[in-house]
Chain A
Amino acid sequence: MKSLVLKDLYNIVHNVKSMLFILIVWAVGFVPTSGTGGYLVMCTILCSMMTVTTFTFDDMAGWTPYALVMPVTRREIVLAKYAVLAVFCTAGSLFGLLVGGIGGFAMGEYTVGLQAFAELAALALVSWAVAFAMGSVAIPLVYRFGAERARVLLLVSFLIPAALCAAVYGVLWAAGVPVSEEMVMALFCASPLLALAWGAAMYRAACGIFAKTEC
């Protein structure tokens, strides 16, 4: 599996410069208007979507049949895509944390202190979770519809987790459970675990689709 992850990282390294440029331009545009939190989430989602780009590269090169004749299983090929997604989400959230944090302090959104760092760290976790959840849906979509059509369907991959979050909030509200700041913070911190659980379910779906795919 390491070879598959390495291949994607080598393939994407050429896009890093343009990606950094876009993220910095976004920082200038979004941190003052949408705040650090908004920038962090957008930054991480954009990086996570590079996973779909790796599928495009694979299609262009005819990689998948080649991967299947290597001593790796179809499940490992799918798992490698999730590992790459996790790497991209981590890189995006760390970059967003760094640049967004600097912007947030510079704009006076935060004042240097433990609480600000804790809030930023929680935001980074949430952005990681949101991006990972979206990317998790994108992977089975790509296996089912191909990279280009899946890009169009990415909205679905955003709407599903968003609808689930809204549904959870609705259930809590209907049950009369007060949503306190501590609770929100706890949810923020737990969000990566929820995203990983969601990712595990999507991984199974992707494996099911890819098992039937003929190359």
Chain B
Amino acid sequence: MDAILEVKDLTKQYDGFTLDHVSFTVPGGCIMGLIGENGAGKSTTIKAILDLIHKDEGKVTFWGKDLAQAPEMKEDIGVVFDGISFYETLTPARVGRILSEAYKNWDDNLYKEYLQRFSLPVDKEIKGLSKGMKAKLSIAAALGHRPKFLILDEATSGLDPVMRDDMLDVFLEFVQDEEHSILMSSHITTDLEKVADYITFIHQGQMMFCKSKDELRYRYGVVRCGAAVFGQMDSADVLAWRKEAYQWDVLVPDKEKARRLYKNAVVDDATIDDILLLYVKGERSK
């Protein structure tokens, strides 16, 4: 499957923070989840991808082309930032009028359909909308020009579970077409567990991994054991570990193997939250 977005060795240096050689590829028809703790570099990655900040190193291509060299590709990219991006006195109707003048492919009927589907009042000022409604408006605005690629930077944070579920349905519908994809950064890892096909994990500016969600779900595990079992464990089988009050939690890349080897230990499926927590708060060398 052809890559829609290809990020290679993306590097950006600030005082006290470096986004260090981040690489991943988003193929067509899939959702890539971008996870990491606050300040890990998710938003910096997205900004560098969108040319909002200058890259120190690395290359970003959409459909094989550099965005700076082919700005017309912006017609095919929809972006939702954390926050509405429109001044509070505008109304959804006026947002539509503004964007219709910006995008050649703007589909006013589609935009209005989304407004209706999301139960958004057309003529109500943004300042009168709830946080959830603002997020929905941002998503409707991003979809109104029929993009082929969506970039969502914490777009669903702050929404209640029902609203988030509605949004996730919209995203899943969007990627039904194999030519469409989504790059989605989120703190809410349960959302990514529901919809993402791949997960890229960034920690302190470093890319820890980029793997398919199924590999994480079906292969990764957390061994919960005592000191004796932990002492027996081969360091090659340990991705990260953390000493809890009464046990060791150990992230392993092959839970079936761990179940065979350590019969006295409990081996749980690893959620994305478990993986993130063990990488961020745990030790990585045994």
Contact = CB atoms under 8 A, between A and B. Distances in A.
B266 interface: no
A69 interface: yes
Given A10-B94, A10-B98, A70-B74, A65 B87 contact: no
Interface string A20-40: 000000000000000000000
A88 to B, nearest CB: 17
Contacts of B50: 65, 68-69
Nearest to B79: A69
A98 interface: no
Contacts of A7: 86-87, 90, 98
B86 A61 contact: yes
B127 to A, nearest CB: 10
B56 to A, nearest CB: 12
Interface in A87-101: none
A2 B103 CA distance: 11
A58 B84 CA distance: 11
Given A3-B102, A215-B53, A69 B77 contact: yes
B99 A63 contact: no
A178 interface: no
A181 interface: no
A57 B79 CA distance: 20
Contacts of B88: 60-61
Contacts of A70: 74, 99, 102-103
B178 to A, nearest CB: 24
Interface residues on A, range: 20 to 34
Interface string B17-45: 00000000000000000000000000000
A113 interface: no
Interface string B83-121: 111111110001001111111100000000000000000
Interface residues on B, range: 20 to 34
Contacts of B75: 71
B269 to A, nearest CB: 38
Interface string A34-60: 000000000000000000000001101
B52 A65 contact: yes
Contacts, number: 78
B151 to A, nearest CB: 8
Nearest to B51: A68
A215 B101 CA distance: 23
A62 interface: yes
A69 B74 contact: yes
Contacts of B89: 10-11, 13-14
Contacts of A118: none
Interface in A177-206: none
Contact of B103 (A13, A71, A214, A215): A71
B194 interface: no
A159 interface: no
A56 to B, nearest CB: 10
Given A69-B50, A73-B71, A63 B86 contact: yes
A68 B51 CA distance: 8
A214 B54 contact: yes
A3 B98 CA distance: 5
B72 interface: yes
A66 B74 contact: no
B72 A11 contact: no
A132 B196 CA distance: 52
20 contacts: A6-B98, A6-B101, A10-B90, A11-B87, A11-B90, A57-B87, A61-B84, A62-B85, A63-B86, A66-B79, A69-B50, A69-B52, A69-B74, A70-B103, A71-B74, A214-B47, A214-B53, A214-B54, A215-B47, A215-B53
Interface of B: 47, 50-54, 71-72, 74-75, 77, 79, 81, 83-90, 94, 97-104
Q: Give 4 closest A-B pairs by Cβ, nearest first.
A: A3-B101, A3-B102, A66-B85, A71-B74
Interface of A: 2-4, 6-7, 10-11, 13-14, 57-58, 60-63, 65-66, 68-73, 214-215
